[in-house]
Chains A and B, each alone.
Chain A
Amino acid sequence: MGDKMKHGLLGMVFILLVTFAADGFCTDTHTLKFAWNDIWGPKFRASQVYRPLGEMNRLLYEKSRGRIRMEIISKMFPSGELFQAVARGKADGGDVAMPWLSGTYPIWNWGEIPGIVNPDPVKGLAEELAVYNDDTVRKIYDATLAKYNLKFWFVTQWDPANGIWSNKEITTLSDLKGMKIRVGGYLPTKGVKSLGGSPVTIAGSELAPAMMAGTIDGVLTSLGYGYSIGLGKVSKYFTTTPLSPTWSAVTLLNKRWFDALPEDLQAIVMDTGRELQQMVSLSTTAEYIMSLDAVDLSGVTRTRFADSEQARINEAAALVEKEWLNVDGPWKSKRVELLTAVKAAVDAYRAFDGK
């Protein structure tokens, strides 16, 4: 081998080493290890943003010019353990279904208070998103989540579990009296009780068979989910109620991971979060509107309570709100502050007139 060739090869090796060194040591790249559970497949609207090489991965990479990279792992932890996993730093970020934690952390489930946002999901989803975009609300989330070493990133909204699938037409609260309604969660159970129904707890996998067998008279859940599990085939009515007007998962970051980022990257992460939650919100709204057509075509009649019932519904809603404020759990003292901020954000959204 000639000297020229040797020098050429050495040169190439040197360039390669310098390139690897620059990539590995000289740039401040940060890896976000993200945990989520792909249990719904592509129909889970958030899967479009969470999946590897999806919008979250892409936006963070592009906005940070490659300084933030992602390692996205589905089913790294059981869904019920994602909160703890992110808090303990086993993952840097994760998708946490807050309604599943409502028994432990009532504060972050203000969305289960009847009437907190518009019961019509098209309007309610937009109002809820306005709440999660509100700076005061976000500050309260950060202040409370910090106790567990967590940082609020963004919300992924689902259509609310606010309707009763039944074979009996429900237009007044008297119609609901004594009906055995399957319901999940602490506040929705209180809500069904306060409206006069009899809450029943049975496994989620048995809803349609239980309706067929007459074990229950109705199921409180969402339009889209209820339809997807076959409730449209065993029910004649879907009654929109003021109960549980939101159902959202919150995407959380490990606070230590976030605090270790340079300020410019912190801003990029938070901006990306706002963009992602907007995407998911619009996707959920569109999907809900399409679900209406599917349910209508299946022969299920959509109803709602008569206007004359509003005063009694408001009374029941006030009872649940009082329960939320007083139930034991972390951050009891902060709940009034959060509720005020949530209501103010909703009012501000409603006040927009484009002028």
Chain B
Amino acid sequence: MAGFVKFLEGISEIFGGKLQGCLVFLLMAMVMVEVLARYLLQSPLSVAEELGGYALVSITFMGLGYTWKERGHVRVELLVNLLPLKWRARLRFVTLVMAAGFCVPMIAGSWAMLQDSLLFEARSGSWLRTPLVYPQSLLLVGSLLLLVQFIAEIMKATGRMDGKTFSGDGTAPDPDRGD
């Protein structure tokens, strides 16, 4: 099971973490080139606003699962930290299952949006006329990546309730981290 959890987290790491990290640099470079072209060449590329928007969507949605893995989402731990470890693990399992359940309407909503865009042949209104199905598919993939991360987290939480830990992968309960 530890191998499988590692595999799932690897997916989050690559697609939600490293790839999106590269995108942040690409976004920065694109805005810089756009500004330079505007001021120095008097001939802007006129792509930064639109492509920058898509990049932000990608960084946000594709990074949802990775951010969860890295404990980057906002959490309120005031009461949870008062519980004994055993109860904390149980509560974590329940909340993880609920969070995974939340992914279902999110995936369904993203899928419905994609279906609409395909049916109505939607494109952006800019001069690029980007088929919207491409940037919108980031929402679907991002939601799926989040679900993948939740599956990994649920497996880890199950192990913790059984008293198991995944040594070396940082999943042992740690009160200081709010586990």
Contact = CB atoms under 8 A, between A and B. Distances in A.
A100 to B, nearest CB: 5
B46 A189 contact: yes
Interface stretch (A46-54, A180-188, A264-272): A180-188
A294 B46 CA distance: 32
Nearest to B122: A104
Interface in A37-80: none
Interface stretch (A156-164, A197-205, A229-237, A273-281): A197-205
Given A84-B116, A84-B120, A180-B44, A200 B38 contact: yes
B42 A186 contact: no
Contacts of B116: 84
Interface string B103-140: 00000000000001000111111110110000000000
B30 to A, nearest CB: 13
A11 interface: no
A84 B46 CA distance: 28
Contacts of B43: 178, 198
Given A100-B125, A185-B125, A185-B126, A199 B120 contact: no
A140 to B, nearest CB: 18
A198 B44 contact: yes
Nearest to A148: B120
B120 to A, nearest CB: 6
A189 B47 CA distance: 12
A190 B127 contact: yes
A101 interface: yes
- Chain B interface extent, by class: 20 to 34
Contact of A201 (B121, B126, B129, B130): B126
Interface in A311-355: 327-330
A89 interface: no
A103 B124 CA distance: 5
Contact of B125 (A83, A186, A198, A202): A186
A189 to B, nearest CB: 4
A155 interface: no
A103 B129 contact: yes
A215 interface: yes
A87 interface: yes
B121 A189 contact: no
B127 A215 contact: no
A102 interface: yes
Contacts of B121: 104, 329-330
Contacts of A215: 38
B122 A199 contact: no
Nearest to B120: A84
A201 B125 contact: no
A103 B125 contact: yes
B31 to A, nearest CB: 12
B127 A104 contact: no
A84 B117 CA distance: 9
**10 shortest interchain CB distances as A-B pairs:** A189-B127, A103-B123, A103-B129, A103-B125, A104-B123, A201-B49, A201-B46, A178-B42, A186-B127, A200-B44
Given A198-B42, A199-B127, 7 more contacts: A180-B42, A186-B129, A201-B49, A201-B50, A203-B49, A215-B38, A329-B121
24 contacts: A83-B120, A100-B125, A101-B125, A103-B125, A104-B120, A104-B122, A104-B123, A180-B42, A180-B44, A186-B126, A186-B129, A189-B127, A198-B43, A199-B44, A199-B46, A199-B127, A200-B38, A200-B44, A201-B47, A201-B50, A201-B126, A203-B49, A215-B38, A330-B121
